[in-house]
Amino acid sequence: MSRVTPFFRPLLAGSLLIALAGCGSNFGFPGVYRINVEQGNVVTEEMVEQLRPGLNRRQVRYIMGTPLIEDAFHENRWDYRYLLRNGNESLSETQLTLWFEGDELARVEGTDAPNWDEPQLDDEDPDKPSDS
């Protein structure tokens, strides 16, 4: 038996343990609490309802806040993304894209985008006769 053999097994076991520890984030330990992590822009329904075609960039920034992504290559596009994660699990994800023509808001895309094609209803009762 050589002098190297007694050190080989502990060295191999230690190397395997270090390799396994490096992959530890994928396994997750039972009983370990993982916090919810929010990333991006929180966009509420009230914010989206205030958007109208023709608003300038300053007005949109006042309503929606600074966009998460302001692409230098697509200066007429602003992206508002939101992601809620718990560890490796994605709990919620939304994306709202605003398109400008010049300095004015032209259209909004995404799951929560307003539908500007439909006529806007007033708060009044449609069956109520007008005062005119």
d(CA 78, CA 64): 11
Go through the domains of the chain in sequence order and give each one's CATH number: 34-115 (3.30.1450)
Contact in structure between 71 and 79 (CB atoms under 8 Å): yes
Instruction: Give the model confidence (pLDDT) of 63-90 as tens digits.
Output: 999 888 777 888 889 988 888 888 777 7
Tell me the pTM: 0.59
pLDDT value at residue 8? 78
Q: Name the residue with tokens 């560890």.
A: 87
- Over 90: is that where the pLDDT of 58 sits? yes
Dihedral of CA atoms 7, 9, 10, 11 in degrees, nearest 10, equals 80
Instruction: Give the model confidence (pLDDT) of 27-45 as tens digits.
Output: 556 777 778 888 888 888 8
Residue 23 dihedral angles phi and psi, to the nearest 5°? -95, 5
Instruction: Give the model confidence (pLDDT) of 11-25 as tens digits.
Output: 888 888 777 666 655
d(CA 98, CA 100): 7
Distances, alpha carbon 125 to alpha carbons 34, 49, 116, in Å = 49, 20, 21
Distances, alpha carbon 90 to alpha carbons 38, 78, 84, 93, in Å = 10, 23, 6, 7
pLDDT value at residue 132? 46
> Who wins on pLDDT, 23 or 104?
104
pLDDT value at residue 59? 93
| Average pLDDT value for residue range 81-102 | 85
d(CA 84, CA 74): 26
